[in-house]
């Protein structure tokens, strides 16, 4: 069975946030670092438009499980 990956495109077209729910260990690093982006009670729970590309990269690089990753896009 293929791993589920949920994609959240940033409106600036520079980055897509990828979330792999089965890998998530719920450490809350994302929520504590960028609470304006990550809201577990919200739908969708990831709103990348509330941070810059660099802020997202910096936070995602700190995800301890690797459940959050990103793709960069050339404009």
56-70 pLDDT, tens digit each: 999 999 999 999 999
Contact present, 25 and 39 (Cβ < 8 Å): no
Contact present, 15 and 72 (Cβ < 8 Å): yes
Residue 3 has a pLDDT of 86
Res 20 pLDDT > 90: yes
CATH code for residues 6-72: 3.30.70.20
- Per-residue b/e over 36-66, b at no fewer than 16 CB within 10 Å? ebbeeeeeeebbbeebebeebeebbeebeee
Residue 29 has a pLDDT of 95
């Amino acid at each position: 069975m293929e791993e589920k990956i949920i994609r959240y495109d940033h409106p600036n077209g520079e980055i897509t946030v990828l979330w792999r729910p089965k890998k998530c260990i719920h450490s809350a690093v994302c929520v504590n670092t960028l609470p304006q982006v990550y809201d577990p009670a919200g739908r969708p729970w990831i709103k990348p438009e509330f941070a810059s590309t660099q802020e997202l990269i910096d936070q995602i690089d700190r995800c301890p499980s690797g459940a959050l990753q990103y793709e960069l896009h050339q404009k």
